[in-house]
Amino acid sequence: MKFRIERFNPDTDAKPYFKEYDVDLKPADRMLLDALVRIKMMDDTLSLRRSCREGICGSDAMNINGKNGLACITKIVDLKEPVVLRALPGLPIIRDLIVDMTHFFAQYHSIKPYLINDEPPPERERLQSPHERAELDGLYECILCACCSTSCPSFWWNPDKFVGPAGLLNAYRFIADSRDQAANARLDDLKDPYRLFRCHSIMNCVDVCPKGLNPTSAIGKIKDMMVRRAV
């Protein structure tokens, strides 16, 4: 199987270039990550992140034939040859397929991704009704792989000011949580023209999310809460 992989070593290369690989796949190689591991056996200078190899850790996010996704849960049979692999767009490349996620995580941390509740915790746990718990479905599953944010043009143009789809999905995860008491402060934090409102509902985030989540819908719910609060 033929691959074209973006390579970049900041110590020796002025800019990224593509290197072609022709790999003999074995019957057990089913996912793109299996093929990448095989390529790495041929050429151990190829650098990429991977860990759980089952779509939970979010390490091996990359641009696969023009669309962001996780190599470990992308089936080889579904890919058109040559398979073109690039680093996630919009973030600085550290080396080959490894990007610098500093901006991405800075935005994630800016939404205070933890429960804020000043009441003393009860002896066992803060209880939720099944209905309250159900509100978090489609939100808590985010693995922070950055596929969505790095496919978002608004995040490309303003990575320092726009929180991005992953951060906003997580913002709504805490706004919606019945145990969180800081919904108002969280909404205040997002009402400026950049942090939330750079989202123009392009929906690339929904298109690429390997977990099938819908950040645009979460962003819509945040806007809805803001409007209800304001009028």
Partner 1 sequence: MVSAYKKQAVGASYGLSDWLMQRLTAVVLALYTPVIVACLLMHRPGTFHEWQGMFSSQLLRLATVLFFGALIWHAWIGIRDIVMDYLKPASVRMTALFLIGFFLIACFAWSVAILWGR
Binding site for partner 1 (CB under 8 A): 154, 157-158, 160-161, 190-198, 200, 223, 226-227, 230
DSSP for residue 95:
E
Rounded CA-CA distance 221/169 in Å is 10
* Measured CA angle at 209 (ends 5, 183), to 5 deg: 135
**b/e per residue 119-155 (b: at least 16 CB within 10 A):** eeeeeeeeeeeeeeeebbebbeebbbbbbbbbbbebb
Q: Shortest approach of partner 1 to residue 198 CB, angstroms? A: 7
Minimum distance from residue 201 beta carbon to partner 1 (Å)? 11
Nearer to partner 1, 85 or 166 (CB): 166
CA dist 72 and 227 (Å) reads 40
Give min distance, CB of 98 to partner 1, in A.
Answer: 22
CB 46 within 8 A of CB 23: no
Question: Closer to partner 1 at the Cβ: 61 or 222?
Answer: 222
Query: What 3-state class would DSSP assign to 154?
Result: helix
Write down the H helix ranges in the chain. Answer: 32-42, 102-110, 130-134, 153-157, 164-175, 183-190, 204-208, 215-230
Identity of the residue, 49 or 191, whose beta carbon is nearer to partner 1 in the bound complex: 191
Name the minimum Å distance from CB 155 to partner 1: 11
Distance between CA atoms of residues 216 and 201, nearest Å: 6
Instruction: For partner 1, give the closer residue by CB, 42 or 106.
Output: 106
Shortest spacing between CB 156 and partner 1, in angstroms: 9
CB 62 within 8 A of CB 96: no
Cα(167)–Cα(170) distance, integer angstroms? 5
**Side chain identity at residue 191, one-letter code:** K
For the bound state, the minimum distance from the C-beta of residue 152 to partner 1, rounded and expressed in Å, comes to 12
Minimum gap (Å) between residue 153 Cβ and partner 1:
8
* Of 112 and 223, CB closest to partner 1: 223
Q: Which is nearer to partner 1, 105 or 197 (CB)?
A: 197
Give the single-character DSSP code of 121. P
Compare residues 83 and 222 and give the one whose CB is closer to partner 1: 222
